[in-house]
Amino acid sequence: MFNSLSTLGLDAASLILRLGLGAIFMIHGYPKLKDAGKGAGQWLRGMGIPYGFGLFAGVVEFFGGIALLLGLLTPVVAALFAVWMIALIWFNAFKVKRKLVGGYELDVVLLISVLALAAIGGGVLSLDHLLLAF
């Protein structure tokens, strides 16, 4: 009995994390895709980041967000987002020299969240679960 309640809790946590994180990443990625990375690309180039990185960021965030919403390859996508967040945290802390508060605290929260999601997986309400059932 306790084991099934525990599994239900993990499935609910996974669903909540997937939906929330997927939406956040899509919302952050869409504007970068919409302007083909130009606005984001110019902003990033001003900080010394190569051209095209804004569009790359948009593709990763938008389509990775869709994958999380659907629960498709959840542990893999979450782990890739963790690497992405580590890179952004490093960039913000050491290259841009932002402070944690009012700077890159959202990136830290997203890192912690995607690490948790990578650990618990997509849950029963995911395409991962459907694909593994066959």
The model's pLDDT over 45-104, given as tens digits with 9 standing for 90+, comes to: 766 667 677 788 889 999 999 999 999 999 999 999 999 999 889 988 888 788 878 778
Residue 115's pLDDT band (boundaries 50, 70, 90)? very high
In a domain, 52, yes or no: yes
Best-predicted range by mean pLDDT (21-35, 41-55, 113-127): 113-127
What is the pLDDT, as a whole number, of residue 3?
A: 60
Residue 110 lies in a domain: yes
> What pLDDT, on the 0 to 100 scale, is given for residue 1?
47
Residue 82 lies in a domain: yes
For residue 36, give its domain range.
2-124
Map the chain to HEC letters.
Answer: CHHHHHHHHHHHHHHHHHHHHHHHHHHHHHHHHHCCCHHHHHHHHCCCCCCCHHHHHHHHHHHHHHHHHHCCCHHHHHHHHHHHHHHHHHHHHHHCCCCHHHHHHHHHHHHHHHHHHHHHCCCCCCHHHHHHHC
The reported pTM is 0.85
In a domain, 103, yes or no: yes
Q: Indicate if the pLDDT at residue 118 is higher than 80.
A: yes
Domain annotation covers residue 112: yes
Is residue 58 in some structural domain?
yes
In a domain, 29, yes or no: yes
The number of distinct structural domains making up the chain is 1
Residue 74 lies in a domain: yes
| 13-31 pLDDT tens trace | 999 999 999 999 999 999 8
What pLDDT score does 133 carry? 77
